[in-house]
Amino acid sequence: MRSHTVRRKLARSRRALTAMLVLTIFLITACSNETSSSSGPSVSGADDTATDDEPTGDELVLRVGAGAPPSTLNPALGGGVEEVFLSLTYDPLFVRAGSGHEPRLVESWTAESGNTEFEVTLRGGVEFSDGTPLTADAVKANVEYFIEAGGPSQGQLSGISSMEVVDELTLRLTFSEPQPLFTELFSVGAGWMISPAAIDEPQMLATETFGAGPYVLVPEDTVANDTYTYVPNPEYWNPDGVYWDKVIIKVLPDENTALAAITTGQVDVIHGAVGTLDAAEEAGLQLAAGRGIVLGMQLNDREGTLSPPLGDVRVRQAINFAVDREAITQAVIGKAGIATEQLAAPGGVGHNETDFYTYDPDLARELLAEAGYSEGFTLPVVVANAFQQTVVEAIGGELEQIGVTLDISVVEGAAYGESLAEFPASALGWGVPHPHKMGRALWLRGATGVNPFDSSDPMVEELDQQALLADEETQEDLYRQLMRRLVEQAWFVPVGIRPSLLFYRDTVVIDAVPGAALPTPESWRPAG
């Protein structure tokens, strides 16, 4: 029969094919392994898997896996996500230090007239990476540009009524309203100083950096949204502050990809996620935890326009009593989470030591019945992503017990902002900065963050106004009262705080301060 001839021939060609395949794999693996195994003790911590650019000799390279790409490289338009990418190249006027701020490009400063007049004296001899000197005129040009560019700090900077150049290195700023957070305003964001030469041609800021920071971006080795390469800035005013010969930031948005990359040595630091926390610990990685964000739900429709039940404070309080914060935090955020009923972190300004709510579904049912909703009701909620959906669904599970049903809609991307006014409630996912800042985002009249029904409480407004003029100690007490009022009025249903995390190998040293935001890459040092 001829068929077994064919079979033998096929069998032979199959064996040949398999042999070829194995040989090819072997060759490919061997070919690209030879470059990495010859690099000797790798100071960057990379294993002997090939990567696209190898450390040569004892070059110190910091490889970072960032959780999200920067939407822009222009400091005037950048915000929290861009910090990682921009802090390497743009030194700010003031820098975060512990829970406060320290002068950086500023030498000294004074505040007068109840936080309305400020005078800053700049450090002498500082130049931007393009050689332009840092002067008071440059700072003034920066403030004007930041306002014109329409970035996140435009609102706060618009409070500046006048600026006066006193001398080459001294600038006087006058605010129309008291600004208790002057140093914070000029730290991340508005504090990033851009060379005036680049301000004249702002389109350059999309692809190159012109700051007075320790490093500069290398556009030739940068692929937007994927890889960002930095080398030391030769004009940097503090050469001791340059720790690395090269910094490479890769964008690794998937948490599993990021973990695989760091365990195989492709990167030294990644943005951690609560989901991969256990795996990271097992892999022997170090952990740094920062302030993070508070998660839960916002009951925006406090007047009861779209959802009449929400107009009654007893209903809102009932919702807060019906939620088992500890359980949800453990389940959704994990062991790194901190259960909370308030929009403040332990150790932060405005945080109250004692709680107003307990987990008491019976009391919740009583309150609902008092308000006339013993049958319960349905509450539409809008969320922006899958993680927020998980949190709100967990809350929904608890609320079922008291007869309140959550009707969750997911609206992603650019459409989310516009959808907020169509729902009585939304997901809560906000950082926990100073209450002065948070108020202007979430709970004061004219708040520009998430306050779609423009709610305003007279006691909250009054306390905030008083805090503007008070000294630090009184301020803290006033903000604690303010926070307590928000909790009692049940404008929000906070559940827990999810800290921001960094996982890193022991070749890097990161000095995280508990309760403060995570330190940014220019401060990360090589170990040993």
7/335 with CB nearer another protein: 7
Q: By C-beta, is 452 or 515 nearer to another protein?
A: 452
Q: Can you state the angle between helices 313-321 and 472-489, rounded to 10 degrees?
A: 90
CA distance 481 to 483: 5
Cβ neighbours, 10 Å, residue 267:
26
Q: Shortest gap between Cβ of 437 and another protein (angstroms)?
A: 11
Q: In the complex, what is the shortest distance from the CB of residue 39 to another protein, in angstroms, rounded to a whole number? A: 14
Find the shortest distance in angstroms from Cβ 207 to another protein: 6
DSSP-derived secondary structure for 113-154: TTTTEEEEEEPTT-B-TTSPBP-HHHHHHHHHHHHHHT-TTH
* Nearest distance in Å: CB 150, another protein: 5
Can you list the alpha helix ranges (DSSP code H) found in 150-193?
A: 154-157, 182-185
Nearer to another protein (CB atom), residue 187 or residue 426: 426
| Contact between residue 350 and residue 435 where contact means Cβ atoms under 8 Å apart | yes
Judged by CB, which is closer to another protein: 430, or 492?
430
Q: How far apart are CA 128 and CA 122, in angstroms?
A: 13
Q: Between 187 and 320, whose beta carbon lies closer to another protein? A: 187
Binding region for another protein (CB under 8 A): 2-3, 5-7, 9-10, 14, 17, 25, 28-29, 31-32, 35, 47-52, 69-74, 77, 79, 150, 152, 154-155, 203, 205-207, 223-227, 250-254, 256-257, 260-261, 263-264, 266, 411-420, 430, 441, 448-450
Nearer to another protein, 330 or 419 (CB): 419
Which lies closer to another protein via its Cβ, residue 50 or residue 363? Answer: 50
Q: 3 or 38: whose CB is closer to another protein?
A: 3
State both tokens at 441: 């985002």
Radius of gyration of the chain (CA): 27
Which residue number, 203 or 354, has a Cβ lying nearer to another protein? 203
Show Cβ contacts of residue 207 under 8 Å, excluding neighbours closer than 6 positions.
73, 219, 222, 224
- The single-letter DSSP state of residue 323 is -
Q: How far is the C-alpha of 429 from the C-alpha of 498, rounded, in Å?
A: 10
CB of 201 to another protein, least distance (A): 12
Of the two residues 396 and 424, which places its CB atom closer to another protein in the complex? Answer: 424
Of 327, 429, 420, 321, nearest to 380 by C-alpha is: 420
User: Token digits for 140?
Assistant: 């003034």
Smallest distance from the beta carbon of 19 to another protein, in angstroms?
14
β partners of residue 503: 270, 287
- Measured from the CB of residue 455, what is the shortest distance to another protein in angstroms? 15
Q: How far is the CB of 9 from another protein (least distance, A)?
A: 6
- Between 347 and 417, CB nearer to another protein: 417
Burial category of 159 from C-beta neighbours within 10 Å (exposed 0-12, middle 13-18, buried 19 and up): middle
Q: Considering beta carbons, is residue 1 or 473 the nearer one to another protein?
A: 1
Nearest-approach distance from CB 189 to another protein, in angstroms = 11
For residue 450, give the 3-state DSSP assignment.
coil
Give the three-class secondary structure for 357: coil
State how far the Cα of 300 lies from the Cα of 42, in Å rounded to an integer.
54
- Residue among 186 and 228 whose Cβ is closer to another protein: 228
CA distance 130 to 68: 28
Work out the end-to-end distance of the chain between its first and last CA atoms, rounded to an integer number of angstroms.
Answer: 75
Using DSSP's 3-state secondary structure scheme, residue 489 falls into helix
CB of 193 to another protein, least distance (A): 20
> What letter would DSSP give residue 422?
G
Say how many C-beta atoms besides its own lie within 10 A of residue 24's C-beta. 10
> Residue 203 burial by CB count (10 A; 0-12/13-18/19+): exposed, middle or buried?
exposed
In angstroms, give the least distance from the CB of 504 to another protein. Answer: 17
Q: Minimum distance from CB of 381 to another protein (Å)? A: 18
Under a CB-based contact definition with an 8 Å cutoff, are residues 334 and 477 in contact?
no
The one-letter amino acid at 440: R
Nearest distance from residue 416's CB to another protein, in Å?
7
Nearest partner of 212 among 135, 297, 102, 109, judged by Cα = 135
